Amino acid sequence: MSESNSGAACMPDQNGAVPVEPVKKDENSRRGNWGNQIEFVLTSVGYAVGLGNVWRFPYLCYRNGGGAFMFPYFIMLVFCGIPLFFLELSFGQFTSLGCLGVWKVSPMFKGVGYGMMVVSTYIGIYYNVVICIAFYYFFMSMTNLLPWTYCNNPWNTPDCTGVMGTPRTNATFANVSAVVSGLTEIVNRTKRTSPSEEYWRNYVLNVSDGIGNFGEVRLPILGCLAVSWIVVFLCLIRGVKSSGKVVYFTATFPYVVLTILFIRGITLEGAISGIKYYLTPQWEKILDAKVWGDAASQIFYSLGCAWGGLITMASYNKFHNNCFRDSIIISVTNCGTSVYAGFVIFSILGFMANHLGVDVSEVADHGPGLAFVAYPEALTLLPISPLWSLLFFFMLILLGLGTQFCLLETLVTAVVDEIGTDWIMKNKTYVTLGVAIVGFLLGVPLTTQAGIYWLLLMDNYAASFSLVVVSCIMCICIMYVYGHKNYFKDVEMMLGFPPPLFFRICWRYVSPFIITFILIFTVIQYKPITYNDYVYPRWSLVIGFAMALSSVICIPIYALFKIAMSEGSTFLERLKNSVKPDPDWGPALQEHRKGRYATAGPESVEVCPLKEELKDEGKEKLKEKEMEKKDEMGLTIPGSNGSTLNPTPSA
């Protein structure tokens, strides 16, 4: 488009309005941006802060030396967590593309993006099942008496012993006083099961005898799964425009609930002993490699690295957004939340241990066991227990939804960016609906009686060492294939300043070393998965490893495909061509393509100037014309049509 035509297209109409002025709201009008930067930060906090902050970190902390675990934890945060977080945010923001499109940086490595999609798919499927169970407990808490308080229900067994006493009597005890005197003995027996555990196993899940025995679909759980997916879809119906508004509530209210539970928890008898157990450092464990491995793994998985979500969320930022600042804020908030949640959890567990007369270690648990067994049992001891139960499970729902929003948006954005047509951009809602329906259908087997076995299998294998491999290859590609100097210049062009020296060193050396350490540690410490006393059969472990490899195998398969399709007469020539950046690599908008990107890339969408800009431009042109007239007054001859003609000198 010529300059004159461009100006005409952007001229105000008769009403003085610029026709396309309303679309100026987004910097990238075709793809869209966050409404403001707070929405991005809150969404990223909701993504990073998830269920693992509540049910995994406190358990790891007390298992690995209490307060001593904090030292390696924060060391890993500084040298691995924040640098990787910043790397992924800057990667997505620079190109304004999702986890597939960003690999224009080196097309041969696009399999890394597909691996991220596979991982996000697995996590999204089972994560929403956990959310739906939290929905179920939330609904069942709307009662005067929590259903897992006593042992007098049809689903309870003779081994059940409630901390509130039990209406069930048997031949062993003749009267209530005998029940009270023998309570501690029963609690300490290895076969003792609590009402909350039996409610979880025998009623909510009705667990089958093995992973191969699916049994029937648990209809209440299936209904809650549908509710969960409907909520996620409605919150993402307009992409980041709608989810960005929802996170004002979903990302902040869990902190309100945590604070309420914390205040209630520390006022309970025995709470201090629980917190002491949580924080008391066992410095001798600081030299144990397992402690450092757990710290590194928790930082890595908690921040959501290599899931593709960080790249996707950052891709909706404006080009010059300070993602360096955001990465520090979000990472520190995530880890601070983990520590804070530990105080909340162990104040309640300390109270429970005091009530039972046992050590805190005997009531502490992790994973679903903490969320749906230990903590619900503790809630029955509190006055107005249904209220606290509602608050706790509502918090779990919000924590899960914050992560689920980003997982689904990652998949949708990858599909939309890959197709890239105007129709798919305008009808992104249909893609979101399709992904939600597929996710729901794939989650149905997890609502059967064998669902818990499959859920834990996916959690332990589908999103374990494969994430480490994907993240390691991403670092190698950006720093050593594309080139660290090139990437540092890209970041400087985007932010206005180069990455700090500390981050440059971490990206090139320290973080890859820590990632390798995590991978080696994961392999060395590998133990076959179990669920309570159930040992998984070998064929199920093969399926688990297949799920883990399904994301990693994408990388070499796509690399070989890209090499085969690249130009060149020899293998080396094709290899070199396959790792060269795509001509479209770089900032998405032409206005940001400067320096070495100035002549590269597709034509940008024209952005018309605002009315004020047009007025200023017009005034400047009038001044220039007046100066020209004064300079050329004696050398110009006015024409009949008002134009000026320069006389040609005679020969």
Q: pLDDT per residue over 496-553, tens digit each?
A: 999 999 999 999 999 999 888 888 888 887 888 888 888 999 999 999 999 999 999 9
SS3 619: helix
Structure tokens at 227: 């509710």
The pLDDT of residue 645: 38
Kind and range of the H or E element at 637? strand 637-638
The answer on pLDDT for 94 being more than 90 is: yes
Q: Give the pLDDT score at 594.
A: 86
Distance CA 212, CA 262 (A): 41
Of the listed ranges 142-156, 253-267, 346-360, 572-586, the one predicted with least confidence = 346-360
Q: Please tell me the distance from the alpha carbon of residue 292 to that of residue 588, in angstroms, as a whole number.
A: 40
pLDDT-based confidence at residue 105 (cuts at 50, 70, 90): very high
21: Cα within 13 Å, side-chain hemisphere: 15
* Six-digit token string for 550: 């399904």
Domain spanning 44-134+216-259+281-349+402-565 has what CATH number?
A: 1.20.1740
What is the mean predicted confidence (pLDDT) over 235-260? Answer: 90
Write out the binding residues for Na(+).
46, 48-49, 53, 302, 334, 399
- What does the domain layout of the chain look like in residue ranges? 44-134+216-259+281-349+402-565
User: What pLDDT is stored for residue 240 in this prediction?
Assistant: 83
Integer Cα distance of 154 and 87 in angstroms: 54
| Residue 606, Cβ density class (10 Å: 0-12 exposed, 13-18 middle, ≥19 buried) | exposed
Angle at the Cα of 228 from the Cα atoms of 224 and 231, rounded to 5 degrees: 135
Binding-site annotation: residue ranges: 46, 48-49, 53, 302, 334, 399
State both tokens at 626. 């007046």
pLDDT for residue 618: 54
